[in-house]
Amino acid sequence: MKTFERYLLNRTTLANSHTLAVYKANGGYAGLEKVLKKPMTPAEVIAEMKASNLRGRGGAGFPCGMKWSFMPDPTKDPRPRYLAVNADESEPGTCKDRVLMEKDPHGLIEGCLIAAYAIRAQAVYIYVRGEYRESYDRLLAAIDEARKAGLIGKRVMDTDFACEIWMHKGAGAYICGEETGLMESLEGKRGHPRPKPPFPAGFGLWGQPTTVNNVETIFNVPFIVQKGGAWFASIGTANSKGNFLVGISGHVNKPGVYELPFGVTAREIVDEVAGGIWKGRKCKAWFPGGSSCALLLGADLDVVLDHDSLKAKGSSLGTAAMVMMDDATSMARVMEIIARFYDHESCGQCSQCREGTQWLAQIFHRIATGHGVPEDVATLESLAKGMAPGKTICALSDAAAIPTLSAVRLFRAELEECITKHKDPLAPSRVEYAGAH
Ligand SMILES: Cc1cc2nc3c(=O)[nH]c(=O)nc-3n(C[C@H](O)[C@H](O)[C@H](O)COP(=O)(O)O)c2cc1C
Ligand code: SF4
């Protein structure tokens, strides 16, 4: 692998990296100072973000600068406006935002303040996954430190810029990571996604203009402001710029969260960063970006990790959460677990999703436990085709359908063998879990 410059995780290894003193001693808040004291206009900050071509790190890869520019012109639309930071991080396999929040919370706060300035938001709401207690506590303490230091509040850095940052703890629902479900939940309601349009930039939190961004997306902002959009755009591949955090888990020797530039191959990450597939085995299958992506094969490991290359392979970068499976893995069991997750997390508003996720979970369960019937694989396929893409209020339905279709395409013979032999030949010795379908 080529050498590259790290910037996202540099501070995380320092002692007391979560404190204001350490953050400031290592260049912290210089980006905010540049924006407020130089000063840069909000339009200039957005222009820099557009030049960087930073794409959102929350899964969909939408260009960040473009999203910010969708916020209405404040001279024509004087409504209050907000930034909502998506720290719900519940996609199976994804654990990157947690590292940033626990180890470098001021980096996120500085990014929030610069983003709020650019989109002219008066307040930022950080929605943290309920199970992430340490992330929540660290962020809360850092916000307190920053407020006392005059970095948050009525006169940020003694300028006319005013901004508040509020925290909100989720209650364990994956659907509250979907941006409109997140806003409903922040408003104190059930986290049911809203139909789009209207989009959050026009009708967001409490019906006001709102931008929703992922933690890692916002964390990149101070670096872009300080070093310039052109610097950022010089890293990576044609349509995927900068460094990104890969969370690699599953059957590798060194699972973890690593910083890499776009352009590395999956094989480089597995072999050179994550210590190779464990127990000397081979890779059978992997998710490149969390369980909502299409599965890829071990033979696909030479693919470059970026948006375009993964799309060309029929999958997607998602949250860059690589989940690796060795050649002893039962794909019926993998899909049974994943389908159960989506069934549990569907909010139930759309019939395709509510009924479809339940059927997928039931069918994968009976295949994995040797009770499948001959038509099951065809039923999985037709069900999943009816659930995606874009047929429902939000993309959870697609997220359940996409891995299912890839499993049927790549592992049809294995699933059919489970049915014809009335048992899963690769089944781990298992204790039936309570409440199984
Ligand atoms: C079911 C579902 C769950 C999601 N969960 C998350 C999440 O936990 N964190 C996140 O940043 N984005 C999540 N997203 C994507 C968000 O809707 C949204 O696209 C993202 O927060 C935008 O930020 P970005 O543009 O910075 O990537 C989820 C989407 C769906 C459909
Ligand atoms: S697709 Fe599923 S999770 Fe999303 S709104 Fe519809 S029922 Fe709810």
Average pLDDT, stretch 398-413? 98
Residue nearest to atom 24 of ligand 1 (CA): 56
Local confidence band at 436 (pLDDT 50, 70, 90 cut-offs): very low
CA proximity to 139, closest of 169, 163, 117, 160: 169
- Alpha-carbon 243 to chain mean position: 15
Residue nearest to atom 25 of ligand 1 (CA): 56
Ligand 1 midpoint to CA 214 (Å) = 7
Which of 1-5, 356-360, 428-432 reaches the highest mean pLDDT? 356-360
Ligand 1 midpoint to CA 57 (Å) = 8
Q: What does the pLDDT look like over 316-334, one tens digit per residue?
A: 999 999 999 999 999 999 9
- Residue 53's alpha-carbon distances to 19, 316, 397, 422, in angstroms, are 30, 18, 29, 52
Residue nearest to atom 8 of ligand 1 (CA): 89
Pairing of strands 243-250, 321-326: parallel
Best CATH choice for the domain 331-420 from the list 1.20.1440.230, 3.40.50.970, 1.20.58.1290, 1.10.287.3510: 1.20.1440.230
- Residue 157's alpha-carbon distances to 37, 147, 150, 277, 308, in angstroms, are 9, 10, 6, 49, 41
Q: What does the pLDDT look like over 181-208, one tens digit per residue?
A: 999 999 999 999 999 999 999 999 999 9
Which numbered ligand comes closest to the C-alpha of 210?
A: 1
| Predicted local confidence at residue 429, as pLDDT | 62
Q: What does the pLDDT look like over 38-60, one tens digit per residue?
A: 999 999 999 999 999 999 999 99
Strand order across the beta sheet in which 296-297 lies: 256-261, 243-250, 321-326, 283-287, 296-297
| Predicted local confidence at residue 123, as pLDDT | 98
Ligand 1 midpoint to CA 212 (Å) = 9
158 near 39, Cβ under 8 Å?
no
Intra-chain end-to-end CA distance of the chain, in Å? 46
Name the residue type at position 312.
A
Local confidence band at 428 (pLDDT 50, 70, 90 cut-offs): confident
Locus of tokens 């059919």: 416
* Ligand 1 atom showing the smallest separation from residue 174 Cα: 3
Ligand 2 midpoint to CA 189 (Å) = 16
- Quick check: 389 pLDDT over 90? no
Pocket residue to mutate for ligand 1, from 54, 83, 86, most atoms within 8 A of Cβ: 86
* Ligand 1 atom showing the smallest separation from residue 395 Cα: 31
Q: What is the overall mean pLDDT for the chain? A: 96
| Predicted local confidence at residue 390, as pLDDT | 83
- Residue 294's alpha-carbon distances to 190, 289, 402, in angstroms, are 29, 9, 6
* Ligand 2 atom showing the smallest separation from residue 348 Cα: 7
- Quick check: 37 pLDDT over 50? yes
Pocket residue to mutate for ligand 1, from 55, 214, 220, 396, most atoms within 8 A of Cβ: 214
d(CA 134, CA 131): 9
d(CA 18, CA 102): 7
* Ligand 2 atom showing the smallest separation from residue 357 Cα: 2
Local confidence band at 430 (pLDDT 50, 70, 90 cut-offs): low
Name the residue type at position 185.
S
Classify residue 37 as exposed, middle or buried by CB count within 10 Å of its CB (0-12, 13-18, 19+): exposed
165 three-state secondary structure: strand
- Quick check: 31 pLDDT over 80? yes
Across 40-184, where does the E strand assignment appear?
A: 82-87, 123-128, 164-169
Ligand 2 midpoint to CA 396 (Å) = 6
Q: What does the pLDDT look like over 66-98, one tens digit per residue?
A: 999 999 999 999 999 999 999 999 999 999 999
Which tokens sit at 102?
């626990």
Average pLDDT, stretch 252-271? 98
Best CATH choice for the domain 10-234 from the list 3.40.50.11540, 2.40.160.10, 3.20.20.80, 3.30.70.580: 3.40.50.11540
Domain range list for the chain = 10-234, 237-326, 331-420
- Quick check: 434 pLDDT over 60? no
Locus of tokens 């979970």: 361
Query: What percent of the chain lies above the pLDDT cut of 90?
Result: 96
Q: What does the pLDDT look like over 142-170, one tens digit per residue?
A: 999 999 999 999 999 999 999 999 999 99
Best CATH choice for the domain 237-326 from the list 3.40.640.10, 3.40.50.300, 3.10.20.600, 3.40.50.20: 3.10.20.600
- Quick check: 432 pLDDT over 60? no
420 near 367, Cβ under 8 Å?
no
Q: Which residues line ligand 1 (CB under 6 A)?
A: 56-60, 62, 67, 86, 88-91, 174-175, 177-179, 212-214, 217, 394-396, 399
- Quick check: 239 pLDDT over 70? yes
- Provide the H-helix boundaries in 346-388: 351-368, 376-387
Ligand 1 midpoint to CA 409 (Å) = 27
Query: What percent of the chain lies above the pLDDT cut of 70?
Result: 98
| Predicted local confidence at residue 437, as pLDDT | 45
- Quick check: 344 pLDDT over 80? yes
90 near 177, Cβ under 8 Å?
yes
Q: Which residues line ligand 2 (CB under 6 A)?
A: 175, 193, 346-350, 353-354, 392-394, 396-397
